[in-house]
Structure 1
């Protein structure tokens, strides 16, 4: 795959127009505290305030909008660690399309309940996203259309609209820090930002427990990793051994990637709440955590994407209260 095959600016701009009535343009706040730590302005892109509580609605809405009449009548299905399922359920309901979401038992109940509340059918299968994907494959064989959480051109283009917004809202941005999982968000944001300004630095942040994309980048090809309980549960899951787009786009367009541990994720969540007055799930707080831990050297204005806020509130209460929440021990 060459860069000429990547999702481009024209596709992302078309997605922005297509989903404009479905999503909201989320605000950007300047963080005084993080700016002092970094020594440069740090802007928070408050995407956790998106409808459905995460960026995933953008890609799902774009993909649903592009369905044919035949595909609409058959319905859509997807695998999710929570936020993609919620976005897809919302977009499908708005379009009057049947939606089935397959999830593993590791997905928090709050996310399962949120998806069901939007009218989607939820199927809980196995203890990994790969096992849940097997159920998706069965439904596709029966005629439904799969809309995957990240490795899909319409999904990537939809997520890329976040990059367009960031450049509009922070014109002098030098570094964009993006939560990294399957790569749909970071691929789209990187494609948009670098098409506008090739010098914008893209940094991906993910958790130590089950960092599938980083393991794949290190191996030079998609690999499987064990999924483990983590505060950043939305970043869990593999990238797919037959990944078509996001692996190559992440490899070629992302400048740096960093791992953070569970304690650092908790610090990011606490900072978001106590200093920024924002309720952010662990996956959405990884950028804040990376700045506080000084994982990278800032070179200019930074934009951090707070990607989701669909957190179990009991867990959030424990974390912001200072409790050492180790989900690995609790599952054991």
Structure 2
């Protein structure tokens, strides 16, 4: 089956060589508190310490470096829930290219302002990732910009997979890897890397209960649309694309399970990260911790939870830490 995947282990290794020196190799730290709770060693992959505050820099950098000089000169465009846009703006600027980032009105202002600060042309369109993508398609069609999607692209997936290589390189005996799941770029890349080296390691995708497009698509056996709802895990929002070419098949074949988390469980994960791990993370990055706290993960050996990003609105973070419930359990 591995030969049919759009991204191979060698693609990921090539991406690692390509982005070396431009992207940080992030640390992995064992959590005493979570290890006691889980009954097995639990390690946190501190990817939120990445240069732009999230794992997205890996895929964006690999994709930009994979473009020809002529393609970069035309300008780069993408839809984003925030972190991909920030990473792409950074990667494009580093190579002398201009990035245009299209986002919905659901993207928090702190993420929008940071993307503007990095020199990107920001366009706010509609109330969903799908509507923002329509503007991207128009700019590609009418202006000739080159699209670098946030997840459904081989170079992006390969770049995200370098995170998996770092995990398996640091902890070869890892039993289970917990990966935040949205469009599937991170999950697909990490799973391909991990299972390419050790097929017995479980890779579990984690996402919020409402608006989980990849989970709904996997259940349906094909990409489907879902309503995008406000969530603490706003970075996990958005569809996977009805014409998904890469991540749906890889997640279907490579993920061992997908676990859904409530808003209360995600909030508990953020609070634990802050109070016991001394880490500030956004809701999407707290899902691995949340699943362990909720007893939704059972493992017989070492676990790695990826803390994928820290680009949280600090006022929102303060309110969560103080125990406020920002979104109802139905996501509204």
Match of 1:51, SS? coil
Distance in 1, matches of 2:283 and 2:5, equals 33
Map 1:176-191 → 2, pairs under 5 A: 176-191=177-192
Deviates more, 1:2-11 or 1:267-276: 2-11
Instruction: List alignment gaps of at least 5 residues for structure 1.
Output: none
The answer to whether the 8 Å contact 2:24/2:50 transfers is yes
* Alignment deviations for residues 216-266 of structure 1 (CA, whole Å, 9 cap, x no partner): 000000000000000000000000000001000000000011100000000
Change (3 A) 1:153 1:46: same
How far off its partner does 1:327 sit? 6.6
The answer to whether the 8 Å contact 2:125/2:131 transfers is yes
Map 1:78-117 → 2, pairs under 5 A: 78-117=78-117
Change (3 A) 1:83 1:327: farther
* Alignment deviations for residues 157-205 of structure 1 (CA, whole Å, 9 cap, x no partner): 0000000000111121110000000000000000000010010100000
Alignment-derived partner of residue 226 in structure 1 = 227
The answer to whether the 8 Å contact 1:262/1:326 transfers is yes
Map 1:109-258 → 2, pairs under 5 A: 109-141=109-141, 142-258=143-259
* Alignment deviations for residues 300-319 of structure 1 (CA, whole Å, 9 cap, x no partner): 10000000000000000011
- In the comparison of the two structures, how many residue pairs are matched? 331
Q: Indicate the RMSD between aligned Cα atoms, in angstroms.
A: 1.4
Q: TM-score, normalised by structure 1?
A: 0.98
Match of 1:43, SS? strand
Q: TM-score, normalised by structure 2?
A: 0.98
The answer to whether the 8 Å contact 1:100/1:123 transfers is yes
Map 1:288-299 → 2, pairs under 5 A: 288-299=289-300
Distance in 2, matches of 1:232 and 1:5, equals 28
Alignment-derived partner of residue 272 in structure 1 = 273
How far off its partner does 1:5 sit? 3.5
Report whether the alignment pairs 1:71 with 2:83.
no
Distance in 2, matches of 1:10 and 1:128, equals 35
The answer to whether the 8 Å contact 1:231/1:327 transfers is no
The answer to whether the 8 Å contact 2:262/2:329 transfers is no
How far off its partner does 1:3 sit? 4.6
How far off its partner does 1:65 sit? 0.3
Q: Which runs of 4+ in 1 moved over 3 A?
A: none
How far off its partner does 1:138 sit? 1.0
How far off its partner does 1:87 sit? 0.5
Distance in 2, matches of 1:297 and 1:204, equals 14
